[in-house]
Amino acid sequence: MKVLVTGANGQLGMSLRSVLQNPVILSEAKNLCFVYTDVNELDITDLDAVRKMVKEEGIDAIVNCAGYTNVEGAEDQPELAGLLNAKAVENLAVAMKETGGLLLHISTDYVFGGEVLTSPIKEEQKPAPQGVYAVTKLHGEEAIQRVDCRHIIIRTAWLYSEYGRNFVKTMLRLTAEKPSLKVVDDQRGTPTYAKDLAKVIVRFLAVEGQVFPRTSALSFESGNTCPSTAEVTDIYHFTNEGECTWYEFACAIAELSGHTGCEIRPCTSAEFPSKVHRPAYSVLDKGKIQSALGITIPHWRASLQECLRGMSL
């Protein structure tokens, strides 16, 4: 199966490239061939360009790692955010609908930011987005469902990695430079190591490509090497296990990296005025994806340690 990866130079795209260097992952993905693209190779806001790439490369599936992810910036550039997070996603869905291919799209916990929630959020929870970023990401999900191509939507949260800009890299810099800093302690969620998400993406694709290519549903034998049951067209939630606040996450980063000379103090969101309403609670329930793929999900602290080792810290 030939897979087109969009946004391949972002942190998730780079993480996907990285995990595919692992012999174990590579063996699982042996029937997959990846074509990596970013904005310089493919403008996904141009439907004709997407169709041409799909046709010329013989693409069977698209993994969409692209999008407008600057949550604050989206408030100032709503048209651009909508173009990248909704219209471009619709283009990818149309291209896959026309060829019978699969679109695997990455969405966000922000689609739930408008309601007060207190327990892990299941996939069937009604979205309530707040702000341009959240609304445009939900519009992307809705565009896929409206086009009705074969699709997998994975909502995730608090993504970080060795690549690009993210909270872990920012905290590593600040705790090395500053004697003290404040970090918000009234927003609770779960950090997600991008390489763990990338492994889940490969698992979905490997099963789709090796066992039941171009079908409406997947059914597998039990065990850790294959899913037990998984609908091709469905929404899943994935983060690491556990939960914490941004303050607790920052403290763990400082502790595990040895940056103990910086005093980290908790504060409220109100102390950092923002254009954007961020979810106060966005812990996602992972039961559905665990059952579908037969996977054990690492705790966020264990994955943070792995990421820091990858940075040689």
Taking only the tens place, the pLDDT of each residue in 236-280 is 999 999 999 999 999 999 999 999 999 999 999 999 888 888 899
- Close Cβ partners of 102 (under 8 Å, ≥ 6 residues apart): 60, 61, 62, 96, 149, 150, 151, 152, 208, 232
Enumerate the domain spans of the chain: 2-165+190-241+283-298
Instruction: Work out the pLDDT band at 114, boundaries 50, 70, 90.
Output: confident
Q: Which CATH architecture has domain 2-165+190-241+283-298?
A: 3-Layer(aba) Sandwich (3.40)
- Which pLDDT value is given to residue 229? 38
247 is catalytic: no
Nearest to residue 193, comparing CAs of 63, 6, 9, 16? 16
Tokens representing residue 245 in the block: 């606040």
pLDDT tens-digit readout, 56-109: 999 999 999 999 999 999 999 999 999 999 999 999 999 999 999 999 999 999
**pLDDT at position 212:** 38
More confident residue, 211 or 180: 180
> Which residue among 110, 133, 160, 281 is the active-site one?
133
Radius of gyration, alpha carbons of the chain: 19
The amino acid sitting at 143 is: A
What does pLDDT average to over the chain?
91
HSE value, Cβ hemisphere, 13 Å, CA-based, for 253: 28
SS3 per-residue string spanning 5-65: EECCCCHHHHHHHHHCCCHHHHHHCCCCEEEECCCCCCCCCCHHHHHHHHHHHCCCEEEEC
The pLDDT value given to residue 227: 40
Q: What is the pLDDT of residues 1-25, one digit of tens each?
A: 999 999 999 999 999 999 999 999 9
Residue 28: pLDDT band by 50, 70, 90 thresholds? confident
**φ and ψ at residue 201, rounded to 5 degrees:** -60, -45
- Give the tokens for residue 280: 């106060």
